[in-house]
Amino acid sequence: MVDAPAPDLTDEEAGVFRYRYQQARQAGLIPEDALVFAESHADIGELRRLVAAGCPAERILAIVL
């Protein structure tokens, strides 16, 4: 699990990063892909829609980025 995002983030940004990472992991993304997702500005709603539609986790990152 990612416990410490980049030290130059504010507390709020770090919290958002952790939340996005956790959501990506719950969606089935592997840790490396969840990290890429958490660091991106990809739409978390789209991530959720793809999961709900049964999209394979290994394809989600390619779609949302």
Chain segment 26-64, per-residue pLDDT in tens: 999 999 999 999 999 999 999 999 999 999 988 998 999
| Domain span at 36 | 11-64
- Of 7-11, 18-22, 26-30, minimum mean pLDDT range: 7-11
Per the structure, how many domains does the chain have?
A: 1
**1 is a domain residue:** no
Banded model confidence at residue 4, pLDDT cuts 50, 70, 90: low
Question: Per the domain annotation, does 4 fall within a domain?
Answer: no
- Per-residue three-class SS string for the chain: CCCCCCCCCCHHHHHHHHHHHHHHHHCCCCHHHHHHHHHCCCCHHHHHHHHHCCCCHHHHHHHHC
Residue 21 forms part of a structural domain:
yes
Residue 43 counted as domain residue: yes
Task: Tell me the average pLDDT across 10-14.
Answer: 92
The verdict on residue 45 lying in a domain is yes
Note whether residue 54 is domain-resident.
yes
Is the predicted pLDDT of residue 8 greater than 80, yes or no? yes
Is 60 part of a structural domain of the chain?
yes
Would 50 be classed as within a structural domain? yes
Q: What is the mean pLDDT of residues 6-25?
A: 90
